[in-house]
Chains A and B, each alone.
Chain A
Amino acid sequence: MVKKTLEIYSVELSGTKDIDQTDKGDGKEKYRGLKNCFEPKKNHQKEELKKELDLDDHKLSIKELEKKYGTNIITGLSSTQAAELLAQNGPNALTPPKETPEIIKFLKQMVGGFSILLWIGAILCWIAYGIQYSMNKSSSLDNAYLGCVLALVVILTGIFAYYQEAKSTNIMATFNKMIPQQALVIRDSEKKTIPAEQLVVGDIVEIKGGDRIPADIRLLSVQGCKVDNSSLTGESEPQARSSEFTHDNALETKNIGFYSTTCLEGTATGMVINTGDRTIIGQIASLASGVGNEKTPIAIEIEHFVHIVGGVAISIGILFFIIAVSLKYHVLDSIIFLIGIIVANVPEGLLATVTVTLSLTAKRMAKKNCLVKNLEAVETLGSTSVICSDKTGTLTQNRMTVAHLWFDNQIFIADTSEDHSNQVFDQSSGTWASLSKIITLCNRAEFRPGQESVPIMKRVVVGDASETALLKFSEVILGDVMEIRKRNHKVAEIPFNSTNKFQLSIHKTDDPNDKRFLLVMKGAPERILEKCSTIMVNGQEQPLDKSTAEAFHTAYMELGGLGERVLGFCHLYLPADEFPESYSFDVDTMNFPTSNLCFVGLLSMIDPPRSTVPDAVTKCRSAGIKVIMVTGDHPITAKAIAKSVGIISANSETVEDIAKRLHIAVEQVNKRDAKAVVVTGTELKDMSPEQLDELLTNYSEIVFARTSPQQKLIIVEGCQRQNAVVAVTGDGVNDSPALKKADIGIAMGIAGSDAAKNAADMVLLDDNFASIVTGVEEGRLIFDNLKKTIAYTLTKNIAELCPFLIYIIVGLPLPIGTITILFIDLGTDIIPSIALAYEKAESDIMNRKPRHKKKDRLVNQQLAIYSYLHIGLMQAVGAFVVYFTVYAQEGFKPSILADLRVEWENGNVNDLEDSYGQQWTWYQRKYLEWTGYTAFFVGIMVQQIADVLIRKTRRNSIFQQGLFRNKVIWLGIASQIIIALILSYGLGSVTALNFTMLRPQYWFVAVPYAILIWVYDEVRKLFIRLYPGSWWDKNMYY
């Protein structure tokens, strides 16, 4: 079995498969899921790995084991031995997935995105300063200073991004942190409780029901121990354990307990044979971490965007460097221009904004029970086009519930909603009275005491799933079940077992006049029917004839066809003369009749779908997301659930359905007629990748049943071959490769194993499929809103860039300084661009198809052109008007500004004449220049207010969207104004910042341009709405 496991996970490693050796018993075939695809790739690695992972301790006798591990099962290891072994083998814990060292993460933030451009700028600044300094010792510190500012900007944004990421990782870290596990171990002949981490090979440990097994252990003595291996093998049934060697395969044999599985009941003593990463789970986990994480779609989009902006910045920079040099500017000056152009072009604050935006959404999603581990995964969910969902727990409530009843020849439907509140079937029949009595009495399940205040459906029950379902069902309908049982004292009982396939109990009745005993029985319907000679109809016993038997069979088949687990119920009042009150029942000899009973009814149970799921699936449908169910359950059950939640829609048929309807053989059906298909793991196993591709493309409604969790990986890869963005849900350890492989892995927060949560990008705290849908909605919204944020941010880059270009070509005094630009990018613009993340969706985003990975880009041509060339240029004009206004009012009319640059910047010219004949010293001009910076800054700021308002919507009018629905936008606008006011009036006297106190009226000069921008965009949106699909729509909608 070790080898088998290996094969399951060797997909990424070697792909070693061997059909013959993995042949197993019925129902275990799922383990071979991946075999076929990789069969031809047998190679030598197999041997190597096999050797490494060989586990044969289960074959050894206790004596041999003691010898092998140098221990004694009575006295255990000595403390010194244990300490030595601990030092030698390391602690008994899984090595967490390799984490990038913090410093690397930090450095990555420092050089990622635009940072590298800014570093180049900073270094160029220092070089320029160095050259200036070597030529003239008293040269101004401006360049060195600017270099420092640029470096500071990179470092600060880097620290910020790092902090944001660390914060979101921390959420996960706290989530991951488990209560330190304790283990009861025998050492130095004493029982000690030690942290499970300190266990070493050879330790003798004791486990009891409820414990997590602390390491791989070979069981030495066992008392009724059952374990839940589902996280390892996917088997949902509890597995009995014993100390005997039962199977060659370590995973199959009963005398091994696996690390991290749970002991459900009983007690056992075992010897630790593997610890930490050498455990089976540890090996699987480390293999799973070998599956590379795919780049998230949003990461690709942002990279694409960085490339665009970086490309524009560098090419404009170099172009103008060349122009400047050929215009006979000094090379050093040209370098400074280059820096200015780069700084103007790069939206320094944008990446930080994106991070904040994503983490805001992550927070919002966490509130809706989607815990996002990887920030970028927030958006991935939005672009998801296929969801491979588990059934149990995700689509269903993960508890058996009574769904149907059959008595009086009639099928009744029970309420399966989460609270059972609305049981509407006819309860007046005498048959129901008898049936309810059987349900109540023939049941060993009990509520844990002390839960009177808890709603019935939420109470904790001791007992198996079906009995729990019956108990809760009867408690809801009849009231206090325990009281009824008390009144009907139980005198004898035969519990359910797999040979009998029935359960029986004998009770005194609660009717004091009736001295008869009541025998009640439930079990597999066909077995129950065999024991009956009569049937109760409308409270009257009738002989069981052929027609009633047929009715029974029809009902049984019908309920079974719904994928439900059916139980039959019968009873018999024991005649008082034969069984007096003092009669002693003996369950071993069965001194009472178990035939010729009276059949009362059938009752069927199912793990019902969560009530929110059908709605969620419909939403997915309309959102163009394909929902594929992948389950280990029986195809019939799977199909029934798929139908009830809408994964297979009401009017679509599978090939089998068509065959049945037309009464023809399955082979004769045209496969194209069927929309839905149910594929079992066995069929999947025999499919080639091409066949799987065909299957995935041809059918819109697919259910995979009887699959192993491992086969999920094949399904995921199949979907990804169709260019789909795949979301996968999973909970088991062996789901982790699929979770990693998926574009977004979603682990279950309640049922999920740690390995699954580690591998996943997102954790569903309530295990509810509907939460995925809200996640999708949020993801799509954030994509739209990021578009708006980016469009907003890009716009002002043109207004920042134009001054430099015009400065170089026309020779105006510099309209805006590099540092002032940084104050826009990292000051006034930050909060409004984050505020756009709070924007509500413009239309129902769940009604459109998921975006195409390659076609629907975050930053497309339309967005770039509209932002840069439409709004951006208007903004530049507006800002220049403010600039010219200030200069003109101070005395320099635009006509004399052209080509004034050289004199303007010459420190020796101290009587430069303006348009009115006034004469200006150098410092006066410098001050005016700073006033110009401030004016230009204010001009951009004012127009950015209009910009943020127009970016609220891309298609709708701003009035349709509501001006005040997003309050954060107004907060952002207020922040813009306040920051600008502080910069101008508060810090206006700090020379280094190059801000001056601006005359109040200059603040309003750009207002008409802001209004113009707003009107222009409203017109754009109006035409888009009026003429969908037109040239305008195609080119103006971003």
Chain B
Amino acid sequence: MRRQLRSRRAPASPYGYRYRLDDQDEANQNYLADEEEEAEEEARVMVVPDLEEEEEEEGQEEEEEEIEEEKEEEEGQGPPTGNAWWQKLQTVSEYLWDPEKRMSLARTGQSWRVMIRPFAHSLNFNFNVSEPDTWQHYVISLNGFLQGYNDSLQEEMNVDCPPGQYFIQDGDEDEDKKACQFKRSFLKNCSGLEDPTFGYSTGQPCILLKMNRIVGFRPELGDPVKVSCKVQRGDENDIRSINYYPESASFDLRYYPYYGKLTHVNYTSPLVAMHFTDVVKNQAVPVQCQLKGKGIINDVINDRFVGRVIFTLNIET
């Protein structure tokens, strides 16, 4: 079991993830593989005996030692693998923090931060409808990204949980958590199922909005948070119509809270697809997509990804 634990750590290293961002094409294939691999491993992981809720400071001290050792490990001076207490310590550290109570996590900003897909190194979407080369990489990126949302996969791995409420899973913090299904087909015209070019070939691009994962974060109950996009500066009529999928244009509560990637392995971030069906062509249109709802902050100046995202569309024909 311990060996497995360690092997599970490997894909958690930043390399796998970064690949996904940098090199969409290849990484997208890997993404699924990663997830599967992890899932398999996860399945084999035995439940680690209960860890009592620790005093914060105690926890911190242990963490500190742990870090020291991890650093040493990095430098290749780590103790031998067979050392029992070392492994024990590692096990402890893996599950040290309490994701629910977020004891060892100090992230202050518990607000919606969003990001869009396709990711293309910048937030300017420039393409020429008649030249597939200019938009092909968007399509590949989206396609890759949505592999994990394939209906078959979702049905196989995840559960269909009731909408409109948190999907709270009690139990030990180190217990594997189930994830709610978010099927690719929810995205309708932007799922790439019917139109494999996600509308780029017709000058009606799809852009997916996803929320940054925050461990333990729960959106406020009540009215679901809605997405709405409009022209940020300039003529409002530059965008004449936008379709949102799912039609509610909101993130359902059942996808929250997130328990962290160690236990919540198959978690699929909910998405809202924005289908810009009628945008002025041949000019740059700055678009601001905001989250609207109770208690949503979307006007922070320093961080322009809090509750909103700003990008430009420049569709040439």
Question: Which residues of A from 911 to 944 have beta carbons under 8 Å from B?
Answer: 911, 913, 915-924
In the bound complex, residues from chain A placing their C-beta under 8 Å from that of B70 are 884, 893-895
A916-B262 contact given A921-B113, A991-B302, CB 8 Å threshold: yes
Residues of B whose CB lies within 8 Å of any CB of A are 9, 12-14, 17-18, 21, 56-57, 60, 63-64, 66-68, 70-71, 73-74, 97, 99, 104-107, 109, 113, 115, 121-123, 210, 212-215, 258, 260-262, 264, 267, 302-306
Partner of B106, one of A884, A889, A900, A908: A889
Is B113 within 8 A of A919, CB to CB? yes
Central interface residue in B18, B73, B74, by most chain A CB within 10 Å: B18
Tell me, yes or no, whether A898 is within 8 Å of chain B by CB.
yes
CA distance A895 to B210 in the complex (A): 27
CA distance A320 to B105 in the complex (A): 35
A917-B74 contact given A885-B63, A889-B106, A999-B106, CB 8 Å threshold: no
Q: Which 6 A-B pairs have the closest CB atoms?
A: A917-B261, A923-B303, A919-B212, A911-B115, A921-B305, A884-B67
A885-B122 contact given A903-B21, A917-B260, A917-B264, CB 8 Å threshold: no
- Could you tell me the distance in whole angstroms from the C-beta of A807 to the nearest C-beta in chain B? 15
A895-B305 contact given A885-B67, A910-B113, A1001-B56, CB 8 Å threshold: no
In the bound complex, residues from chain B placing their C-beta under 8 Å from that of A886 are 106
Is B121 within 8 A of A894, CB to CB? no
Q: What are some 27 contacts across the A-B interface (CB < 8 A)?
A: A886-B106, A889-B60, A889-B97, A889-B104, A891-B215, A893-B67, A894-B67, A894-B71, A894-B74, A896-B12, A896-B13, A903-B21, A908-B123, A909-B21, A910-B113, A916-B97, A916-B105, A916-B215, A917-B258, A917-B264, A918-B107, A918-B260, A919-B214, A923-B304, A923-B305, A924-B109, A991-B302
In the bound complex, residues from chain A placing their C-beta under 8 Å from that of B18 are 903
- Could you tell me the distance in whole angstroms from the C-beta of B201 to the nearest C-beta in chain A? 25
Central interface residue in B17, B107, B262, B303, by most chain A CB within 10 Å: B107
Is A917 within 8 A of B305, CB to CB? no
Tell me, yes or no, whether A114 is within 8 Å of chain B by CB.
no
CA distance A836 to B315 in the complex (A): 69
CA distance A881 to B267 in the complex (A): 32
Is A891 within 8 A of B14, CB to CB? no
In the bound complex, residues from chain B placing their C-beta under 8 Å from that of A894 are 67, 70-71, 74
Tell me, yes or no, whether A354 is within 8 Å of chain B by CB.
no
Is B212 within 8 A of A920, CB to CB? yes
CA distance A913 to B11 in the complex (A): 13
Tell me, yes or no, whether A888 is within 8 Å of chain B by CB.
yes
In the bound complex, residues from chain B placing their C-beta under 8 Å from that of A896 are 12-14
In the bound complex, residues from chain A placing their C-beta under 8 Å from that of B121 are 908
Is A1005 within 8 A of B64, CB to CB? yes
In the bound complex, residues from chain A placing their C-beta under 8 Å from that of B113 are 910-911, 919, 921, 924
CA distance A729 to B258 in the complex (A): 83
Tell me, yes or no, whether A899 is within 8 Å of chain B by CB.
yes
- Could you tell me the distance in whole angstroms from the C-beta of B142 to the nearest C-beta in chain A? 15
Tell me, yes or no, whether A856 is within 8 Å of chain B by CB.
no
CA distance A889 to B103 in the complex (A): 9
Is B21 within 8 A of A891, CB to CB? no
Is B212 within 8 A of A918, CB to CB? yes
Is B115 within 8 A of A924, CB to CB? no
In the bound complex, residues from chain B placing their C-beta under 8 Å from that of A922 are 303, 305
Tell me, yes or no, whether A890 is within 8 Å of chain B by CB.
yes
A923-B302 contact given A889-B106, A896-B12, A899-B14, CB 8 Å threshold: yes
Is A916 within 8 A of B260, CB to CB? yes
Tell me, yes or no, whether A792 is within 8 Å of chain B by CB.
no
Closest to A928 in B: B107
CA distance A1007 to B68 in the complex (A): 14
Tell me, yes or no, whether A245 is within 8 Å of chain B by CB.
no
Tell me, yes or no, whether A880 is within 8 Å of chain B by CB.
yes
CA distance A915 to B214 in the complex (A): 12
A889-B63 contact given A917-B213, A918-B215, CB 8 Å threshold: yes
In the bound complex, residues from chain B placing their C-beta under 8 Å from that of A911 are 113, 115, 210, 212
Question: Which residues of A from 618 to 672 have beta carbons under 8 Å from B?
Answer: none
In the bound complex, residues from chain B placing their C-beta under 8 Å from that of A917 are 213, 215, 258, 260-262, 264, 267
CA distance A890 to B122 in the complex (A): 27
A915-B67 contact given A889-B105, A999-B106, CB 8 Å threshold: no
Is A915 within 8 A of B213, CB to CB? no
CA distance A917 to B21 in the complex (A): 14
CA distance A922 to B215 in the complex (A): 18
CA distance A842 to B40 in the complex (A): 67
A885-B303 contact given A880-B71, A896-B14, A917-B260, CB 8 Å threshold: no
Closest to B68 in A: A881
CA distance A450 to B167 in the complex (A): 105
- Could you tell me the distance in whole angstroms from the C-beta of B284 to the nearest C-beta in chain A? 16
Closest to B120 in A: A908
In the bound complex, residues from chain A placing their C-beta under 8 Å from that of B212 are 910-911, 918-921
A895-B13 contact given A911-B212, A918-B212, A1005-B64, CB 8 Å threshold: yes
In the bound complex, residues from chain A placing their C-beta under 8 Å from that of B267 are 917
CA distance A920 to B107 in the complex (A): 10
A881-B56 contact given A895-B13, A913-B17, A924-B109, CB 8 Å threshold: no
- Could you tell me the distance in whole angstroms from the C-beta of A811 to the nearest C-beta in chain B? 10
- Could you tell me the distance in whole angstroms from the C-beta of B114 to the nearest C-beta in chain A? 8
Central interface residue in A886, A889, A991, by most chain B CB within 10 Å: A889
Question: Which residues of A from 374 to 424 have beta carbons under 8 Å from B?
Answer: none
Partner of B115, one of A881, A885, A891, A921: A921
In the bound complex, residues from chain A placing their C-beta under 8 Å from that of B64 are 881, 885, 1005
Is B122 within 8 A of A910, CB to CB? no
Closest to A886 in B: B106
Chain A, 173-209, contact with B by CB distance < 8 Å: what is the 0/1 string? 0000000000000000000000000000000000000
Central interface residue in B57, B67, B99, B264, by most chain A CB within 10 Å: B67
Is A884 within 8 A of B71, CB to CB? yes
CA distance A1001 to B104 in the complex (A): 11
Chain A, 856-884, contact with B by CB distance < 8 Å: what is the 0/1 string? 00000000000000000000000011001
Closest to B64 in A: A885
Is B107 within 8 A of A881, CB to CB? no
- Could you tell me the distance in whole angstroms from the C-beta of B111 to the nearest C-beta in chain A? 10
In the bound complex, residues from chain B placing their C-beta under 8 Å from that of A895 are 9, 12-13, 70, 73-74
Partner of A885, one of B56, B60, B262: B60
- Could you tell me the distance in whole angstroms from the C-beta of A26 to the nearest C-beta in chain B? 86
In the bound complex, residues from chain A placing their C-beta under 8 Å from that of B123 are 908
Closest to A885 in B: B64
In the bound complex, residues from chain A placing their C-beta under 8 Å from that of B97 are 889, 916
CA distance A920 to B9 in the complex (A): 20
In the bound complex, residues from chain B placing their C-beta under 8 Å from that of A898 are 14, 74
In the bound complex, residues from chain B placing their C-beta under 8 Å from that of A1001 are 56-57, 60
Is B213 within 8 A of A918, CB to CB? yes
- Could you tell me the distance in whole angstroms from the C-beta of B138 to the nearest C-beta in chain A? 15
Is A888 within 8 A of B56, CB to CB? no
Can you add 18 more A-B contacts, CB < 8 Å, to A881-B68, A921-B303, A1005-B64? A881-B64, A884-B71, A888-B63, A893-B67, A898-B14, A898-B74, A903-B14, A908-B121, A910-B113, A915-B12, A916-B261, A917-B261, A918-B258, A919-B113, A921-B306, A922-B305, A924-B107, A991-B302
In the bound complex, residues from chain B placing their C-beta under 8 Å from that of A899 are 14
Question: Which residues of A from 587 to 630 have beta carbons under 8 Å from B?
Answer: none
In the bound complex, residues from chain B placing their C-beta under 8 Å from that of A913 are 14, 17, 213, 261
CA distance A898 to B121 in the complex (A): 22
Partner of B99, one of A893, A916, A919, A999: A916
Question: Which residues of A from 22 to 37 have beta carbons under 8 Å from B?
Answer: none
